[in-house]
Amino acid sequence: MLIRTIVRNIKTNNEQLKDFEKEIIKLYDKLDVKLHTFIGLTKITSAEIISEIGNIKRFSNSSKLARYCGVAPVNFSSGNHDKTVRNEYGNRKLNGYIYYLACRSICTGKGSNNPHNPIFLEYYYKKIEDGKTKRQALTCVMRRIINIIYNILSKGVPYEHPSELNQECLNKIYQKMVEV
């Protein structure tokens, strides 16, 4: 009997979750924001990002949004000593969304060599070739994503994926795979 009650509660919760998601999508559509046009973002995830950012006008540029997200490095200086470290502050929930989106942008599909976003994957490899660690290169990708999010939200325009550049990056990636 206890198992039946738990299963019934799970089914009810799943139905409520679907209803909540429909309501979130309706509210998101009323905002008339085009954030879901970015590759890898759904309307639900876009609504979560917008709920964490709030009003985009409170950030005068994308650097301030990056600082708020916890992506921009923090500078500690005293006298003659200057040290720049990874930012562990900022909105951690928003940072998690951006991190997930960056990982998703540079990964390839399961059992496939086709990346989800060849432009970001090629940029990631370029940063590694420039001497950055994998973590630093991923942070650079996150920073690019924040720039795009800031522009989409502040200008109110949809994201247009550059298809010519996309094919060019795919060719470079496949060429590197052949060399290895």
pLDDT at 168 (0 to 100):
73
87 Cβ contact list (under 8 Å, min separation 6): 67, 70, 71, 72, 73, 74
Q: How confident is the model at residue 174 (pLDDT cuts 50, 70, 90)?
A: low
Q: What is the pLDDT of residues 63-74, one digit of tens each?
A: 999 999 999 888
Does the structure show a pLDDT above 90 at 100?
A: yes
> C-alpha angle 104/41/149, rounded to 5°?
95
Single pTM value for the model: 0.83
Q: What pLDDT does 179 receive?
A: 63
* pLDDT above 70 (res 180): no
Task: Give the model confidence (pLDDT) of 106-161 as tens digits.
Answer: 987 777 777 788 889 889 999 999 999 999 999 999 999 999 999 999 998 998 87
Residues 94 and 99: their CA atoms lie apart, in Å, by 9
Q: pLDDT digits over 9-68, tens only?
A: 999 999 999 999 999 999 999 998 999 999 889 999 999 999 999 999 999 999 999 999
Answer for the pair 40, 117: CB distance below 8 angstroms, yes or no: yes
Judge whether 33 and 46 are in contact, CB under 8 Å: yes
